[in-house]
Structure 1
Amino acid sequence: MRCFKEMFFCKCCRGAREEHDIIEGDKLLQDNDERTSSLQKRVDALKMREMTAGLNVVLLGKTGAGKSSSGNTILGRQAFITQKSVAQDVTVESGSFGELPVSVYDTPGLSDIEMSEEEIRQMINEKILQICSSGLCVFLLVIKADRFTEEDRKTVEKIEKILGENNQNNTWILFTRGDKLEGENMTIEKFIEETEELKTLVQKYEDRYHLFNNNKMKKEEEEEGGPSEQVKILFNKILKPYLDTMAGEKIWQQNTLKRKIPANIGAVSRVSGLPSRRIVLLGKSGVGKSAVGNTILGQKEFTSVMSTNSVTRVCSAAQSTVSGRSVSVVDTPGFFDTKMKPEELMMEIARSVYISSPGPHAFLIVFHVNTRFTEQEEQIPQMIELMFGEEVLKYSIILFTHGDLLDGESVEKLIEENFALRSLVQQCGGRYHVFNNKVNNREQVEDLQQKIDSMIQQNGGGHYTNQMYEDAQIFRQEEEEERKLQEEKQIQEEIEREIKETEERIKAEMEAENLKAERLSEEEQRRREKQRQEEIERVKKNTEERVRKEIKAKKETEERIRAENKAKLNEESGFLNFFSKYKHHFATAGHVVGGIAIGAAVLSGVGVGAAAGAGLAAFCAGVGSVSVAGAAVGGVVGGVVGGVAASKYEEEIKWKKRRREEEEREQQVDKKIQEEIERAIKEIDERFREEMVAKNLKAEKQSEEEQRRQEKQRLEEIKRVREKTEERIRAEIEAKKQRDGVRKNREDERNKNKRS
């Protein structure tokens, strides 16, 4: 028994402990679930703030990868300069995707930027990451759909190192040059499959990639009038993971992001491509047509006040996105308005036809829920048929306003009790609806849309139309075409004016550059001519100095020779003096040895000296002696003296000859100097001419290159001016439209105040 009790109590204790453990485990799981739920709520709240704050797109890659062009494609406009550059800073441009704010950051090409890796990381952190903290941030790694090079691989590694692992899940690969793949009939998947490194890279980023054809940007922008299809698909891929989370569901339930992302994004928008709707509001003054329009559109577009008189005096239209579709509402002046002339009312009704062409999908005939049907109310259907056509009631719905005043009574009972109202509802195919304009209840609008859709299906689909609406559409199209032509003409004129001003400015700059170049050329020519003259003078001076030194040396040599000859002549004169002193002595000796023969021999040897000696001998014979001996002595003496005279005469002839030779030599030297100078000048001229020709050829080449550069710059400037002018003029036209709309609303307000 004891053992049984012990065993029993032990089992009970074990069961109690197990039950206690289970309870404690459940508590721990519950606490863990609560903490997880709290953490998830904080994460969802953070994601919700990111989604509603906007989308930040950061473009990263090497120079020439197509970052700027991709930014332009995303924004749908020429926001970034696409020419190849080595910019050293981040450029940011803003736009929107529907109503979702989008900021695009264009970064420098990381392959050739003159910054260190630390400086790049600091720039990315300061100018991008800190700013991106206020919203959803996506990094697009831009790579050309071309050969994946070693430079591409290094650039990717550098970007991954800068961003870090924390941002890898927010990074997508954006391939550019999709047109090249299309031309080669190749898909991006096949291109990735054929490149092993790209295949590995795409797998690393979990197949987060997209392909852009930036050449399609302008064409798709013009055709669709909004984001291009490739941008929609990219944003679909980026935003879908966020919208699939709890935060995304809450945002959609709260209708915060639904209003921001465009309805035509596809899967992201959570709505199908619903057709647009055009609705025309008709009724008496003061029944609440403008309030109905504001309720349908979900925003205040029309002036609405409580009054029995018509607030709307001019037909106006407003447009908005309602439940995923574009809805346009046309508000008209009230029937039977005593403050409007009939022709004014008819003109505004005609305006409603014009602005709702090619035809409305629905006419809403508005009545106050407590309207007492008088003769005027009974005339409304006939008036509507008269103005819009016999089939108009097939596209009409009776809309009662101020449904809150029914006070529990059904509208069906109200219709049943009023024969005229019941008849009108029957004419409209039994279609009616009730609005409470005081309550912001979107279900009443969605119910109305369903009734309109059902009515359109009953009528075979499509909108109401007749010849009048068709003509209105033609006139409206013509007006729109004329307006576009005028806008294009204005844009073209503005562009031509800007281009003309740009060309004139560039022409003036080029002329100024040419004048400056001509002045520099003239100055250069003057400088070169001065240099040439200085060179000629220098050569001339050096040549003259060299030749004169040579002449001086020759003169010194000749003077030395003459001095030696003179010394010899001086020695001869000394001999003559000696001989005159001892001539009698030598005359006697001459007589002894036969001076006559000697004298004759001397005379015969010296020619002219013999004649002179004979004369002298005769003179001596007459003076000194009349004897034969005197004659002989005279002959000897005359022969000697005649020989000396003949030698002196011959020396004088030689000296004159040397003088003539010296003069001729000086002339030859002068001639040689002149020839030397002329040759040097000719060489200098030829050298300068060759240098000038080479310089002119170089200048012409530089001038041609400068002209090509200026022409390229001119064309780029003209292109930039054209694009900027088009963008500015279109913005001005859009701003003018908005100002005209505001001005028109103010005029309507003033007219209303005047009439009231």
Structure 2
Amino acid sequence: KTESNLIKIGSAIELRLMVIGSSGPSQFLLTNAILGRKEFTKDLTSISSSLKNTGELAGRRVMVVNGPNIYDKDISRVKRKVEQRKSKCLCIPGPHAFLVAFDMEKISPNDMNTSRLMKQRFGRQCVRHSMVLLAYDENMQDTELEDKVLKTDWHLRELIEKYGGRFHVFNKNWRDRSRDRELLQKIELMVASLGGGYFSSRTFQKAEDSVKKEEKRLRKQRASEIEKVWSTMENHYVAEELTSLARGLGTGLVVGAVMGALFGSIEGPGGMVLYGVIGGAVGGSAGGTAQVAIEKCVFTLVCSTCVVQ
């Protein structure tokens, strides 16, 4: 699926990157390298829950999703399926690129089969949106890296061919930023060659539908809670007192409180306070007792919304 201005460097559109690991620490080292910070320790080899992090790569806003390694033996089959669904939900409506990380010095038979398992879990076309990322140690020179990948190591060449020949090498030391722009350009070029959009499949569409359904449920729940709070306020202040408040303050502040409650259910406490203030500005100021009463009501609404969230 397409998004406008996707391939423009520095675009306001955030690149969604799903980092895949076969085994070991490579995918976590890659995330550190992309974000330019120590998000994971260098000896980490497994995580039990999918995670999302944001940052910048060569000036481009990126969102990076990590999940358990494909061959992680420390989690159950059921847990693995749960985390697969979670990682998809974290990356909806779909990733712009899959970055598949390996240690270039430790290519295993399992690594060679990673593309097959990716197709099963994310969709048959996901490999077209994928790139191999090879981790290397600091002491290797650029010429050594190129020779190793393209000339001397047939395992690496065979692995890279499974992903359309697309690859990039990155330093295990995340402080080395010398290859950031090259990596970003490779990702953007791959995305542009596929129409400038993000990857989507039936599994990602199901994840997006599930998230939207849950958002709708939460909105209804919040609206219901706000309605209960408002009803309590109405019962607390009899009709005569509300009429007196409206006369003293002007209808603006009362309406502002109502608007604050409604918009707060969608936008959080900030929206509630904002519209309460707007109402106050419209209605003007008034007598002390009535003012304290309204402020108490608004405070109650804000606290209730915080609890709902």
Q: TM-score range, shorter-chain basis?
A: 0.7 to 0.9
Superposed CA deviations along residues 290-343 of structure 1, whole A, max 9, x for unmatched, are 23223323345x433414x41x11111122354554321101111222211122
Amino acid at match of 1:435: F
Residue pair 1:399, 1:432 contacting (<8 A) in 2 also: yes
Identify the residue that residue 432 of structure 1 maps to in structure 2.
Answer: 167
Residue pair 1:285, 1:336 contacting (<8 A) in 2 also: yes
Q: 1:305 to 1:473 in 2, by over 3 A?
A: same
Identify the residue that residue 547 of structure 1 maps to in structure 2.
Answer: none
The structure with the largest helix share of the pair is 1
Instruction: Note the residue ranges of structure 2 that are not aligned, 5 or more in a row.
Output: 1-8, 270-302
Identify the residue that residue 412 of structure 1 maps to in structure 2.
Answer: 146
Please give the residue correspondences for 1:654-669 in structure 2 after superposition, counting only pairs within 5 Å.
none
TM-score, normalised on structure 2?
A: 0.72
Identify the residue that residue 458 of structure 1 maps to in structure 2.
Answer: 193
Q: 1:477 to 1:283 in 2, by over 3 A?
A: same
In the alignment, structure 1 residue 304 sits paired with structure 2 residue 41: yes
TM-score, normalised on structure 1?
A: 0.32
Of 249, 268, 275, the match for 1:713: 249
Amino acid at match of 1:722: V
Q: What SS does structure 1 have at the residue aligned with 2:69? A: coil
In the alignment, structure 1 residue 358 sits paired with structure 2 residue 93: yes
In the alignment, structure 1 residue 317 sits paired with structure 2 residue 55: no
Shift of 1:420: 3.5
Distance 1:481 1:286 in 2: 39
Amino acid at match of 2:41: S
* Higher relative contact order, structure no. (Cα contacts within 8 Å, ≥ 6 residues apart): 2
Distance 1:718 1:469 in 2: 44
Of 20, 24, 27, the match for 1:282: 20
Identify the residue that residue 192 of structure 1 maps to in structure 2.
Answer: none
Distance 1:363 1:736 in 2: 38
Q: 1:421 to 1:468 in 2, by over 3 A?
A: same
Please give the residue correspondences for 1:537-686 in structure 2 after superposition, counting only pairs within 5 Å.
none
Q: 1:709 to 1:491 in 2, by over 3 A?
A: closer
Amino acid at match of 1:713: L
Shift of 1:728: 7.0
In the alignment, structure 1 residue 344 sits paired with structure 2 residue 82: no
Distance 1:487 1:417 in 2: 61
Please give the residue correspondences for 1:149-548 in structure 2 after superposition, counting only pairs within 5 Å.
273-300=11-38, 302-307=39-44, 309-310=45-46, 312-371=47-106, 373-406=107-140, 410-415=144-149, 416-501=151-236, 503-504=237-238, 507=240
Residue pair 1:276, 1:327 contacting (<8 A) in 2 also: yes
Distance 1:353 1:420 in 2: 30
Residue pair 2:51, 2:65 contacting (<8 A) in 1 also: yes
Distance 2:128 2:30 in 1: 21
Q: What SS does structure 2 have at the residue aligned with 1:449? A: helix
Amino acid at match of 2:62: V
Shift of 1:736: 7.5
Distance 1:350 1:436 in 2: 30
Q: What SS does structure 2 have at the residue aligned with 1:393? A: helix
Distance 1:325 1:488 in 2: 37
Distance 2:253 2:235 in 1: 11
Distance 1:282 1:736 in 2: 37
Superposed CA deviations along residues 227-247 of structure 1, whole A, max 9, x for unmatched, are xxxxxxxxxxxxxxxxxxxxx
Q: 1:485 to 1:429 in 2, by over 3 A?
A: same
Residue pair 1:359, 1:465 contacting (<8 A) in 2 also: yes
Amino acid at match of 2:104: V
Between the two proteins, what is the percent identity of the paired residues? 22
Distance 2:15 2:105 in 1: 29
Alpha-carbon RMSD = 3.2
Shift of 1:409: 5.5
Shift of 1:411: 2.6
Residue pair 2:15, 2:63 contacting (<8 A) in 1 also: yes
Amino acid at match of 2:127: L
Residue pair 1:278, 1:359 contacting (<8 A) in 2 also: yes
Residue pair 2:36, 2:174 contacting (<8 A) in 1 also: no
Shift of 1:451: 0.6
Amino acid at match of 2:43: M
Distance 1:349 1:275 in 2: 25
Shift of 1:405: 4.5
Distance 2:217 2:33 in 1: 35
Q: 1:304 to 1:475 in 2, by over 3 A?
A: same
Superposed CA deviations along residues 485-520 of structure 1, whole A, max 9, x for unmatched, are 33333334334434544x34x74x58xxxxxxxxxx
Q: 1:325 to 1:344 in 2, by over 3 A?
A: same
Shift of 1:428: 1.5
Instruction: Note the residue ranges of structure 1 that are not aligned, 5 or more in a row.
Output: 1-270, 511-706, 741-756
Q: 1:413 to 1:343 in 2, by over 3 A?
A: farther
Which structure has the bigger radius of gyration? 1
Distance 1:482 1:447 in 2: 43
